[in-house]
Amino acid sequence: MPLRASDRQPLAPNPTPPDTHPTEKIFYCEPTKEVFKSHSEYVDRLVELKQNIWMCAVSFKKGMTYLEAQQSEEKLATRIAQLPIPIHRALCCLVAHFGSAKVEKLSEACYVFLKDRFLIGEPVLVEGKGGVSDFTIAGIRVKKKKGGGKMKNGNGVQNGQNGHQDGKNGQNGHQNGKNGTQNDSDSDDDMPLSQLKLTVSNSTENPESGYLDPEPQNVIYTLSNGKDTKTADIRRPTSRNNSGSYLSREIVKFWVRCCCDFDGTLNYQLKPALRNKALNMNFNDECHPVIRMPQLENTGKRKSLSNGELEHFITSQSKKTENNSVGEWQVEWPLKRPNFTKIPKT
């Protein structure tokens, strides 16, 4: 339903007149499906709908009439309906898992997860010797890691449970606290970049750090013809206007706005009916295998402090300096901006 651009609220419908007499004259507004007894109220509604004060609830394009906003929503709803059912199922599960958040965060997290991952039942294009062929993903499995998953390529990079030994290793790399296995290299500088990234991801159990394996390159897809293929040989079909893959950041954002409700602060949450269905689904079996579900990244910009907040911050820092004599931060005055310097140990 189109929204008013001023407050992003839908049109408040006129209540249907009760017990209208068959011979009584009424006025019907086709765009809003409203009934008016008063001709003046009917005319006021038509004038309001023809003003350029409306916005599309999906694209958030402003400066439109009510009818133009309706047509825009219908057009975008058609694009969303072209998405395969497996994409709809996965988006429902992901958004239901993420909970309430801004549309940009929800759509970006969903797109990042799905752009290089294909889903069970999804139609795909596969590059072969005879050209490109159409198939459906019949199954997904994860490659088995060499060495039981504890080491990779003989370098002794350990899982996140073994971690780093505090105060024992220094710069001697990672060490398994139980088995005593050490890296061949004495420094992380000698480690390949891709392996260094793996070390960081495996040693981090922070839920906000994203998701763990399987990464796209570690997944094998079984096609509808029974053959196995890897991620690099698969791609999604293009959209009907040949503008690229049907799955894009824009279309995911439109999907979120169509299938979610938003509150006064514009935080979106999946509609209750879809949420109930999504929570009863098994994402590993019906969509894509994961060790744990992805998390929303805290990528918000740092908020600027107002004058009152800045004064409160400086005062609190000054009190900390008075209460702690070593290793605290001291404010040097007079300065236009606070300059924090470390107090040397005495």
Query: Hey, what domains does the chain have and what are their CATH numbers?
Result: 3-78 (no CATH), 82-142+214-286 (2.30.30.140), 146-208 (no CATH), 307-342 (no CATH)
The residue type at 280: N
Alpha-carbon distance of 105 to 268, in angstroms, equals 10
Q: Could you tell me if 46 and 28 are in contact, meaning their C-beta atoms sit under 8 angstroms apart? A: no
Give the type of residue at 86: P
Alpha-carbon distance of 157 to 303, in angstroms, equals 38
SS3 label, residue 175: strand
Q: How far apart are CA 107 and CA 256, in angstroms?
A: 7
Distance CA(47)–CA(63), nearest Å, equals 15
The answer to whether residues 221 and 229 touch, using CB atoms and an 8 Å cutoff, is yes
Looking up tokens 């159409």 gives: 134
Phi, psi (rounded to 5 degrees) for 229: -150, 165
CA within 13 Å, CB half, 344 = 1
The whole-number pLDDT of residue 150 equals 43
Give the number of residues written for the chain: 346
Distance CA 157, CA 177 (A): 12
Residue 51 pLDDT: 92
Cα(262)–Cα(209) distance, integer angstroms = 26
Q: Where are the alpha helices (DSSP H) in the chain?
A: 39-50, 66-81, 85-98, 103-114, 193-202, 249-259, 272-279, 283-286, 307-323
Query: In the prediction, which pLDDT does 69 show?
Result: 92
| Structure confidence at residue 223 (pLDDT) | 94
Which two tokens mark 327? 């290793």
| Per-residue pLDDT at 214 | 75
List, for the chain, all residue ranges whose pLDDT scores fall below the cut of 70.
145-213, 240-244, 298-346
Cα 297–chain centre separation: 8
What pLDDT is stored for residue 241 in this prediction?
Answer: 57
Give the CA distances from residue 129 to residues 210, 217, 238, 313, in Å, rounded to whole numbers and listed in that order: 37, 21, 21, 65
